[in-house]
Each structure stands twice: as C-alpha cells, then as structure tokens.
Chains A and B, each alone.
Chain A
Amino acid sequence: MAPLIAAAIVLSPIVHDPRHDSYPLSTYPMFAPDRGALLTIDTVVRVDSSGVVHRLDPNTISGTDEIVTASVVAVKAIQRGEADLLCREVADRIGDPDSTVEVRSEQVNTIDVVDHHADPISVTIWAECRFGE
C-alpha cells in the first residue's frame, strides 16, 4: 500500500498544467519548453563613467548567490513595474556614485553568447539610476 500512496503523491501534479510548478511536488517543467535561440533575457548592469557596460554578479543583482534567482528577480521587477525599485537596490549595493545602474532586457542569440560572448542584438532599458540619487 505504501508504494501505491507514494506513487499517487509523486504523480499527483500530473493533473495540473505542466507549467504549473510547486515544491516539493513538481511537474519538473524546467527543461521541457523549446525556448528557441533568439531570446530576451532580463538583467541589471553597471555602466561606468566612460560608458563601458560591466556585468554584475548574482549577489549584487539579487542579494543571493543563486544564479537563476538573480535572473528571475530582474524578470519579475520588469513585469511588475518595479524596475526602479530594483535599480536603487542594486545601486545601493554597488555604492559607486560615478557609475550608472541599468535594469534592462537584452535580445540575444543565446548560441552566439555562449560561443563568443556576442553583444546583444538590441537592448531595452527599463530603469536607470545612480547611487545616492
């Protein structure tokens, strides 16, 4: 009986939409969708006084060392219209009044990015701020 109960429990998320995720019971949708090669990826960057863009690490973006959490923090801030809040939060973490922080969406060819760190095809800036402003 116990194995049957275990099977019923672990398979129970099958009644949901496969994209509906939870914990500890999950549909495990993370590797399932076809994302395509051309994608928009949200992030936060630092732009120094000479205009050079510097990638920030996950800890600076989200306050945790979790890579995907950092990405999701940027995605949700943009979706919820909270890009300004995230921008100020990151600027406070950096603490450099000479740099500009940008919350932005980068349209990229993911294969080219992995292959030779290609620049984004286009960039949309959702929020721009400086430390102390």
Chain B
Amino acid sequence: MNRNALQRLAIMRAAMGLYAVVWTLVRSANIIDTSGQPARRFDPIGPLWFLDRPLPTWVTVLGILTVLVAGTALIVGWRYRISAPTAAIAFLFVTTYRNSWGHIIHTENLASLQLLVLAIAPAATVWSLDARRGAETDTGERDDGWWAVNAMAVLAVGTYFMAGVAKLRISGLHWVNGDVLLHQVAFDNARKIIVGAPESPFAAFFLSQHWMMAPAAIGAMLIELGAPLALIKERFAAVWVTTAIMLHFGILAIMAILFPYQLLGLAMLPLLPIEARAPGVLHRHRWLGNFLRWQRRSPITSTT
C-alpha cells in the first residue's frame, strides 16, 4: 500500500482546520461569556502567563474571527504560509484565554499543538488552492512531509502517555484497582448534579457494577501507557486508535465528558494511512474529485 505524507497532510489540513473553525464557531458564545467574567477570576496560564489583567472583549472577538477567516483559508489551502500560522496561533490564543479563568479544560490541548505543527508543514502542496495556482507553497520540493506527520503522531501518543504517567505519579498502582475510577466517576457526576447540570444517564448503572471497575481502570491505563507502541507499526497504530476512541466513548457514556477532537479520531489521523482511502472516496464523491483536479501540479515525491 502506498504511503504519501503530502496527501496525508492535505487530508489533515482539511479535517483539523474544519475542526478548529467549527469548534470556535460553536463555542464562540461560551468563549465570550467566559472572558466577560469579573476580573478577579482572571488567572492567565501558558502562553498568556504575562497578562496582569483581562483583555478587552473585542480582542477575544477578534481572535474568534481570525480563527474563522484564517481557518477557512487553511482548510482549502489558500495562502497557506500566512493563513495556517495565523489560524494556529489564533486558535491557541482563543483556547488559552478561555482557560485563563481559574479552570483548565483539557479537550483542546492536542488540537492546539497539532495545529501548530500543521501550520509549518508542507500541508498545502497537494489538494489545495495554492497547488492549483502553482504557488510556491512549501519548504521545497525535497520536503516529503514525513517529519510533520511523525511529529503530530508523537504529540498524540505523548499526550495519552502523560495522562497515564500522571495517574501513576499521583495515585500509584492503586489507580488500577478500580476504586479511584469508581470515586472519579461518582465525583464527576455528583458535581454535575450539585451545580444543576445533567449527569450521565449511565453513571448510576456503571457505579453499581463494581466488578467492571478494575478491568476498566486497567484498560484505560494500558491504552495510555501503551500509546507509544502505536508509533512502531501501522497494525499497532490501528489497534491503539480503535481502543483510544473506545476509551473516549466510555468517558462520554459514564461521565458525560466529550473530547470531540479525540472522539472523532482527528487527533489520531497522523498515525493512520488515511491517504490510501482517498481514491475510493474521490470515486464515490465526484464533486470532490473534480475540485481536487483543479490543481495544476502534484509534486508527490514520496511514496514508499
């Protein structure tokens, strides 16, 4: 089966860019509401650590609009050298600022990091408007793009590995006996009830099935600490991606916590030969094939 990093990057460009745009659009009201909280709650983190007071609301709105406009250009690969870094930095700003109000939400960390790599990758060399107009889009004809695919794959598995390490460092091997998971699921759902939000409809049933706790905890730990194995072989990657997505379905079912980027499999795209499926998809969706055939050149130099 042929492997082509430039095509894989192009697919990731469209998918991850679409995610950033849709997420920002859907969460825009929440982001603006969050940034409108009283200044005493402002607690800047990460790349915004240096701020000593909240920014005016118009800056947040400008950040959102920048993600929407630059992100749309990123999706179709238009003026990629400018649009991609602009979208990635704007997305990082919007998500960091949203998290700078006393509570860190962990659903967009990986999307932010992978977008930063995608922004400097040769991801608009094929299947893009830049390629169509013959623009000098990327870092040179010899850049096969695998460095970017592999870097984004490492970010994905590294994130899960870190989550497993945190469990071991904070709770030790005690984490896998099932009690910690039981208490975590109970706490998270009870907190939802107490702050007037809907809990998971499956939580009470899950908590009553004590025998499931230890196997579920061991499974979660194996998926997290075993994530680096996905870098070794495509077959391992396919198995790991499947189990990781199942883990997120489980988290959604019993804790009503949605990790959309991971659940949709977007975080794991660098690990999979998604470009091998492209001919079949283009055959089924002719409009997409016609769009992509607009391009004038296809400098695909790397097939293995």
| Cα–Cα distance between A24 and B89 once the two chains are bound (Å) | 12
In the complex, the answer to whether A63 meets B37 with C-beta atoms within 8 Å is yes
Contacts of A56 in B (CB 8 A): 195-196
Task: Report the separation of the CA atoms of residues A74 and B165 in the bound assembly, to the nearest whole angstrom.
Answer: 30
Cβ of A52 within 8 Å of any chain B Cβ, yes or no, is no
Number of A-B contacts (CB under 8 A): 204
User: Once bound together, how far apart are the Cα atoms of A21 and B175, in whole Å?
Assistant: 20
Interface residues of B in 137-187 (CB under 8 A from A): 147-148, 150-155, 158-159, 161-163, 165-167, 169-171, 174-175, 179-180, 182-187
- Chain B residue contacts of A106, Cβ below 8 A: 194
Closest A-chain residue to B183, C-beta based?
A35
Closest to A59 in B: B33
B30 adjacent to A64 (CB under 8 Å): yes
Which residues of B are found within 8 Å of A63, using beta-carbon distances? 33, 36-37
Q: Which partner residue on chain B sits nearest A72 by CB separation?
A: B103
Q: Is the CB of B148 within 8 A of A2?
A: yes
Measured CB to CB, the closest approach of chain A to B146, in angstroms, equals: 9
- Does A61 belong to the interface (CB within 8 Å)? yes
CA distance A68 to B31 in the complex (A): 14
How many residues of chain B get a CB closer than 8 Å to chain A's CBs? 69
B253 interface hit (Cβ, 8 Å)? no
Contact with B along A1-35 (1 / 0, CB 8 A): 11101110111011000110111111111111111
User: Is the Cβ of B33 less than 8 Å from the Cβ of A65?
Assistant: yes
B245 at the interface (CB under 8 A from A): no
Which residues from chain B contact A48 at a C-beta distance below 8 Å?
Answer: none
- B163 partner residues in chain A, CB cutoff 8 A: 28, 31-32
* B151 cross-chain contacts in A, Cβ below 8 A: 2-3, 5-6
B233, CB-defined interface residue at 8 Å: no
Taking a contact as CB atoms under 8 Å apart, the answer to whether A108 and B190 are in contact is: yes
Q: B194–A114 contact, CB under 8 A?
A: no
- Known A3-B147, A62-B37, A67-B197: A18·B169 in contact at CB below 8 Å: yes
For window 94-116 of B, CB contacts with A under 8 Å fall at: 95-96, 99, 101-106, 108-110, 112-113
Contact present for B45 and A66 (CB under 8 Å) = no
Asked whether, in the complex, the Cβ of B45 is within 8 Å of the Cβ of A22, the reply is yes
Contact of A39 among B95, B101, B159, B190 (CB under 8 A): B190
Judge if A94 is at the interface, Cβ distance under 8 Å.
Answer: no
Question: In the docked arrangement, what's the CA distance between A43 and B193, Å?
Answer: 10
Min Cβ gap B267→A in Å is 12
Bitwise interface map of B from 276 to 301 toward A, beta carbon under 8 Å scored 1, else 0: 00000000000000000000000000
A114 contact from B147, B152, B193, Cβ within 8 A: B193
Task: Give 15 A-B pairs besides A6-B117, A82-B40 with Cβ atoms closer than 8 angstroms.
Answer: A3-B153, A22-B104, A23-B109, A24-B113, A26-B106, A32-B180, A56-B196, A58-B196, A63-B37, A72-B102, A110-B190, A111-B190, A114-B186, A114-B203, A115-B207
The 8 closest A-B pairs by CB, nearest first: A10-B158, A110-B190, A28-B163, A110-B186, A55-B196, A2-B147, A32-B170, A113-B190
A23 touches B169 (CB 8 A): no
Which residue of chain B has the shortest Cβ distance to A14 in the bound complex? B165
A58-114, CB < 8 A from B = 58, 60-74, 76, 80, 82, 85, 89, 106, 108, 110-111, 113-114
A117→B34 contact, CB < 8 A:
no
A6 in contact with B207 given A33-B170, A57-B196 (CB within 8 Å): no
- Complex Cα distance, B224 from A30, in Å, reads 14
Contact of A58 with B197 in the complex, beta carbons under 8 Å: yes
> Is B208 interfacial (CB 8 A cutoff)?
yes
Q: Name B195's contact: one of A3, A33, A37, A67 (CB within 8 Å).
A: A67
